[in-house]
Chains A and B, each alone.
Chain A
Amino acid sequence: MTVTESPSLLVAGIGEMVISSDPRAHLVAYGLGSCIALAVWDPRARVGGLAHFMLPSGPASPGSPVKFIDTGLDTFLDAVAAKGALLGRCSIKAAGAAAMLTVGGGLAIGKRNAESMSNALAARNLALVATSLGGNAGRTVQLEVGDGRFLIKSLSSVTEL
């Protein structure tokens, strides 16, 4: 299994989100460390969204709509719903939130990101069906809109979540 380039490759850069109803679209977030990617996919509407969150909380940032989980999650979920997805039947998965550095207290932002995401989803009566969180390895993630496959690529492996 490999992460392949799609004719419709949409990249969620740091603090950005991508949403598509094109069944050929592959939504990608590259090189996640402590950041956390949230993938939302509606199997009936065939709509998918991928957001590359940076931090647990902070003021809304127009240039980076999903920079913060607390102020960006609704923006992301609303945008996915506006594309035709019904959030209640969506498969929701998360990856990232690693601890890459151990010196200087470890900059333990990854752990806080994972906790914030779980809490923020629970507050909206939504739950993660699968996760690849924590550890100390970087991840590139890819959501394939046509079939909902969510791939996690590290330096040593590619796995489907």
Chain B
Amino acid sequence: MTLTLSEAGQSVVAGTFGRAMKKAGEALGSMSGQVIEVQTPMLQRCSASDVLAMAGGPESIVLAVYVGITGSLQGHALLLFSPADAHRLAQILLAGLLGPGELPMKSTADPLAYDELELSALQEAGNVTISAFLNELGMHLHEPVQPTPPQVVIEMAGAVLDAVLLDLVSDADQVLAAKTTFSEGGRAIDGTLFVLPRADSLRVLLDALGAIGI
């Protein structure tokens, strides 16, 4: 399915996604007790290769929290961190929950080794962040948008994203990708949020936003 959006229509969608991504950043900030800056979101129609490039290239290693989107809008959302930033965020999240002596110690030099508590905290951070985005978006729709349970994957970005992209490109050459970057200035934690709606449910969203025909 291909939808042609006018410049004004694209601007409406970008504005709505921007507000939803700001809410997502605020939710992450509230959970971590940090001030999270949200970069101006990028919304663009692009190829599968473009999405992989936006994630840092197919071989870059990421910790990804994946949440499927179901309900009136269908698609996929991913919150990506570099392994080092994911460790830092996990430590911040757990410090707010546990006493100093209870914090998990890093037992190996392997940057890809995570304590079970760290993974649980990061999974919840992704869940809260993406749910905040969907809640904001759901306010514009007439039916609820529901997240699937979150899943944490530590992998090459290409391997994580291709499963999602293959679901989107079977009947289209391009996908609509929304991306923003969260930064926590003092500790330099960058996270990237991708939202990739399915083409066949995109019309529902565009209709609800009044982005068709303007």
Contact = CB atoms under 8 A, between A and B. Distances in A.
* Interface of A (DSSP majority class): loop
A30 B162 contact: no
Interface stretch (A43-51, A55-63, A86-94): A55-63
A99 B153 CA distance: 11
Nearest to B162: A33
Given A13-B49, A14-B49, A107-B164, A58 B170 contact: yes
A139 B112 CA distance: 16
A29 B112 CA distance: 22
Interface string A23-58: 000000011111100000000000000000011001
A7 interface: no
Given A138-B158, A155-B112, A107 B148 contact: no
A54 B66 contact: no
B57 A30 contact: yes
A101 B151 contact: yes
Interface in B110-151: 112, 148-151
A134 interface: no
Contact of B148 (A31, A54, A55, A104): A104
B166 A155 contact: no
Contacts of B148: 103-104
Interface string A77-102: 00000000000000000000011111
B59 A101 contact: no
> Chain A: interface residue count, which band?
20 to 34
A32 B158 contact: yes
Contacts of A158: none
Given A14-B52, A33-B159, A63 B173 contact: yes
B105 interface: no
Contacts of B171: 58
B80 interface: no
Interface string B9-48: 0000000000000000000000000000000000000011
Interface in A90-126: 98-104, 107, 109-110
B3 interface: no
Interface string B150-174: 1101111111111111110111010
Given A35-B166, A63-B173, A100-B160, A30 B59 contact: yes
6 cross-chain pairs, A with B, having the tightest CB-CB distances, nearest first? A31-B158, A138-B159, A31-B58, A33-B159, A104-B68, A31-B156
Interface of A: 13-15, 30-35, 54-55, 58, 61, 63-64, 67, 98-104, 107, 109-110, 137-140, 155
